[in-house]
Structure 1
C-alpha cells in the first residue's frame, strides 16, 4: 500500500504481528489494531478516559509527548511503565514506521 507504514505489535503470548497502517487517513494506533481484530477493548472510543488501549512502546522513532489527559490516565495505571502510552493518542504518521509496541493487560 502506498502511503503506509508498518507497526509491529507484541501480543500477550509473546508473538508479534505486523500491521500495515495508512498514513493518509488520520487513524490512531488503536484504530489500526482494532481494524486488524486485535483484542483492544478501547471502551471510551479514543477519548483517553479509560486506558483500555494501554500499550508499552518497545521501539520507536520520535514520539510526541503525551497530552495532559493521556499523562493523567497513565499515572493511574498500576502496570504503567516509563514507555507506556495510550494507543488511541498516537496518530499514524510516517515517523512511526517500524514502531514496536506491546499490548498491555488490563489492570
Structure 2
C-alpha cells in the first residue's frame, strides 16, 4: 500500500488515501468516492478521468502513450502536467503522490 492525496478542483479540500499496488488512479478515485468521472470505464476512450500533477510528481509517472496524449487534447483545462487517471497504475514509486482534480469546464 502507498499513500496518495487527491486535491479537489477548487483546491480547498484534500483527501489522503491508502492505495493498493496495481490499481489505476481512476479506479482508486471511484473506490474512494472521489469525484472523477471515468465515463469509458478506463478503456482509454474518453478524457473524463483527467488529473493534474506538480512538475515533480509528473516526472515520477510512467511515460505517456500516444493514445493518451491524443485523448488529452479533448479534455478541458489541460496543463503541461495533465494525465489520464486510467493510464496510471499505482506502484511503490508513486508513494506520496498528490493528484489535483481539474476545474470544471
How does the TM-score come out when normalised to structure 2? 0.88
- How many correspondences in the alignment? 102
More helix by share: 2
Equivalent of residue 40 in structure 2, options 16, 35, 44: 44
Alignment of 1:58-69 (within 5 A): 58=54, 59-60=56-57, 62-69=60-67
Gaps of 5+ in 1: none
Contact 2:25 2:85 in 1 (8 A): yes
| 2:15 aligned with 1:7 | no
Out of 28, 34, 45, the position equivalent to 1:32 is: 28
Match of 1:18 in 2: 16
Structure 2 gap segments, 5+ residues each? none
Structure-2 separation of matches of 1:62 and 1:13: 24
